[in-house]
Amino acid sequence: MFPVPVLQCLQVKPMTASVTGGERFRLVMSDGEHYVQAMLATQANHVIHDEKLVRGSFARVKQYTPNNLKGKNILVILDIEVIESLGVQEKVGNPTAVESNDSKPAAMTGNDFYGSKKEESKPQTMPSRPATHDGGNIYPIEGLSPFQHKWTIKARVTSKSDIKTWHKPTGEGKLFSVNLLDESGEIKATGFNDQCDAFYDVLQEGSVYYISSPCRVQLAKKQFSNLPNDYEITFERDTRIEKAEDQSNVPQVRFNFCTIQELQNVEKDNTVDVIGVLKDVGQVDQITSKTSGKPFQKRELTLVDDTGYSVRVTVWGKTANSFDANPESVIAFKGTKVSDFGGKSLSLLSSGTMTVDPDIPDAHRLKGWYDSAGRTDSFATHQNMASMGNATGRKDENKTISQVKDENLGMDDTAYYSIKATIVFVKQENFCYPACSKEGCNKKVIETGDGTWHCEKCSVSHDRPDYRYIVSLNVADHTSHQWLSCFNDTGLLIFGMSANELMELKENDDAKFMAAFETVNCKKFNFRCRAKMDNFGDTQRVRYQVMSAAPLDFKTEGNKLAEMIKQYDMDS
């Protein structure tokens, strides 16, 4: 074991996104005698976000590796601990830059990373003995870029695809890909044609390998990867792959979890990792691809977590068919794609993975929560979110009723919004209409002289209509009130009975009919609405229509208010 060096931070600067493709920080670190340029691995960015690592602070550099970027010595810091007890001080000593007089890049010279300026008689304040393989340095995956041309990584294969083939007028071929993981990060690697033949059987999921250049490192094609790395690897003819003797000192998997509640703020088509308790398991269904015409098997799972939210996760193919996890298991998904069709949902990508009851702190925490309290909780969904709002390119926002009026929503263009409001009055007149009972029609039918009901669209007559809700209701919040029009799905939710049942009460029991309307008053809902200009006779005015509604979950709403209060306290 080498001693952990203690260095002073002389400078912290964010690197430009055009260079890194993400949030990265460049540091200047000093031992009092020399200073060196350094770069934080993204996994260590928390020391910047927490405002612990600042100019003048001291830190233990617990894990690092030397690198060479465009001829410059760069220390990639993988793990760093700020020594808060030492505080922030002025620059210690008068350190000079580290230089290398060797024609060989300093990052490749083994122990002599700092070059020839070090005096042998002095102890090394900053030992620099990175792990090696066949005499070469082991590079961190986080430090790979197109600028390095000779490197070796030691990484675990966390997932491996099937061999895929393609046939085009210009030719045909095949490929496979693997996800590679080390302590610093993950990267996707792909083998085409000859490299597919050479390496497919060599690389086994779960095993650790030394992989040495030549390999092509290029910008990642994000649409085909579930990893956050800005680069990806392509195997070449002379790429060397060797199974490591030591299979234990490389992580098994690396998650970057998003809570189910946080999905509300994730844009569609993004890729996230999520963990939760399995609440419900659907049956295997088969669908046919519109583009290829091929059948696919899918299974829908419902996941919940301690934020009080649930989400639907779709798994496909072999994963769907072989799924056998029991409800109330904790499941971690890596690489799920976010959809906002009909509300937020997730789909496990072919390159993603699913782990049941993983031995990680997040899983133990969720299991403890579910066993103690979560089993009896109710959960909010993302089903009332802006699937239609996003279709217009405009965000579906929470509003008060007075804001809807003051902002003139719907006057110039169709607008979508959500309000939390209480029903104060429901019109009893024309609460429903007689509809065609043929499945999928729902058009209004007309009563004929012989006692039947005729649908002009279907050209059929029915003995009785299928009544459907068209309810007008007045709602109020603490700012104002508003008239809303509702259709059948919302009417079913509000009244708790079908329009046919309510019409039967109207015809046979006037007291129960009146009581049904009284019961609706003072119910609280989250209404998702559309504001649109409409014609009423010779005049135009905005019509507010309910697109969907959900009863308020008071626990979730209370948690939101607590978070708002906490944020207000922090801001003030």
CATH code that applies to domain 260-381:
2.40.50.140
Rounded distance between C-alpha atoms, residue 185 and residue 144, angstroms: 10
Evaluate whether 351 touches 159 at the Cβ level (below 8 Å). yes
Q: What CA–CA distance (Å, rounded) separates 567 from 561?
A: 10
What pLDDT was estimated at residue 442? 84
| Strands 310-316 and 345-356, sheet pairing | parallel
pLDDT at 501: 93
Task: Determine the average pLDDT of the residues in 179-206.
Answer: 91
> What does the pLDDT average to over 508-515?
92
Residues 6+ apart with CB under 8 A from 214: 149, 236, 238, 239
- Which percentage of the chain shows pLDDT scores above 70? 85
Decide if 42 contacts 23 (C-beta within 8 A).
yes
Would you say 2 and 127 are in contact if contact means Cβ atoms under 8 Å apart?
yes
Convert the pLDDT of each residue in 148-185 to its tens digit: 778 899 999 988 888 999 888 888 999 999 999 888 78
51-67 pLDDT, tens digit per residue, is 899 999 999 998 887 77
pLDDT of residue 422: 95
Q: What is the DSSP string of 165-184?
A: EEEETTEEEEEEEEEEE-SS
Helices (H), 376-498: 387-391, 401-406, 488-495
Enclosing H/E stretch for 555: helix 554-571
Q: Which of the residue ranges 118-122, 204-208, 212-216, 402-406 would you say has the lowest mean pLDDT?
A: 118-122
User: What pLDDT is stored for residue 290 in this prediction?
Assistant: 64
* More reliable by pLDDT, 20 or 74: 74
Burial track 474-503 (b if 16+ CB lie within 10 A, e otherwise): bbebebeebebbbebebbbbbbeebbeebb
Across 457-480, average pLDDT: 91
Phi-psi region of 20 (alpha: psi -120 to 50; beta: other; left: phi over 0): alpha
Q: How confident is the model at residue 278 (pLDDT cuts 50, 70, 90)?
A: very high
* Per-residue confidence (pLDDT) for residue 291, from 0 to 100: 61
Q: How far is CA 178 from the centre of its chain?
A: 21
The reply to whether 141-243 shares the fold of 6-97 is: yes
Q: How many CB atoms lie within 10 A of CB 211?
A: 25
**Model confidence at 385: pLDDT above 50:** no
Q: Which of 89-93, 203-207, 378-382 is predicted least confidently?
A: 378-382
For residue 226, which of 350, 316, 311 has the smallest C-alpha distance?
350
Which of the pair, 106 or 452, is modelled with greater confidence? 452
Domain locations in the chain as residue ranges: 6-97, 141-243, 260-381, 397-431+470-556
Which one is the CATH code of 141-243: 3.30.450.20, 2.40.50.140, 3.40.50.2300, 3.40.50.920?
Answer: 2.40.50.140
pLDDT score of 23: 73
| CATH value of 397-431+470-556 in 3.30.460.20, 3.30.1340.30, 2.30.30.100, 2.40.50.140 | 2.40.50.140
Distance CA 50, CA 571 (A): 16
Provide the pairing of β-strand 132-133 with 231-235: unpaired
pLDDT at residue number 516? 93
Position 115 scores a pLDDT of 34
Residues 6+ apart with CB under 8 A from 262: 307
pLDDT at residue 465 greater than cutoff 80: yes
pTM above 0.75, yes or no: no
Arithmetic mean of pLDDT over the chain? 82
Task: Assign domain 6-97 one CATH number from 1.10.1370.40, 2.40.128.20, 2.40.50.140, 3.40.50.720.
Answer: 2.40.50.140
pLDDT for residue 483: 95
Condensed to tens digits (0 to 9), the pLDDT of residues 398-435 reads 899 999 999 888 887 788 898 999 999 999 998 999 99
Cα(395)–Cα(79) distance, integer angstroms? 39
Give strand pairing partners of 421.
525
Distance CA 379, CA 304 (A): 7
Please write the tens of the pLDDT for every residue from 520-560.
Answer: 999 999 898 989 888 776 778 899 999 888 888 777 778 77
Residue 125: the pLDDT is: 41
Three-class SS state of 8:
strand
Q: Residue 318 gets which letter from DSSP?
A: H
Contact assessment for residue 438 and residue 458, using Cβ atoms and an 8 Å cutoff: yes
Provide the pLDDT for residue 389. Answer: 37
pLDDT band, residue 383 (cuts 50/70/90): low
> Which pLDDT value is given to residue 519?
93
Sort 344 into a burial class: Cβ within 10 Å, 0-12 / 13-18 / 19+: buried
H-assigned helices in 436-540: 488-495, 499-508, 510-520
Give the residue-averaged pLDDT of 493-502. Answer: 92
Identify the top-confidence range among 67-81, 303-317, 376-390, 538-552.
303-317
Mean pLDDT over 103-113 rounds to: 35
Q: Are 32 and 10 in contact (CB under 8 A)?
A: no
The predicted structure's pLDDT at residue 196: 94
Q: Is the peptide bond before 214 cis (omega within 30 degrees of 0)?
A: yes
What's the average model confidence in pLDDT over 120-125? 37
Per-residue model confidence (pLDDT) at position 68:
60
- Facing residues of 534 across strands? 541
Structure tokens at 248: 């234990």
| Per-residue confidence (pLDDT) for residue 391, from 0 to 100 | 36
Q: Apex CA 62: angle with CA 101 and CA 363, to 5°?
A: 140
Q: Which residue has the higher pLDDT, 384 or 339?
A: 339
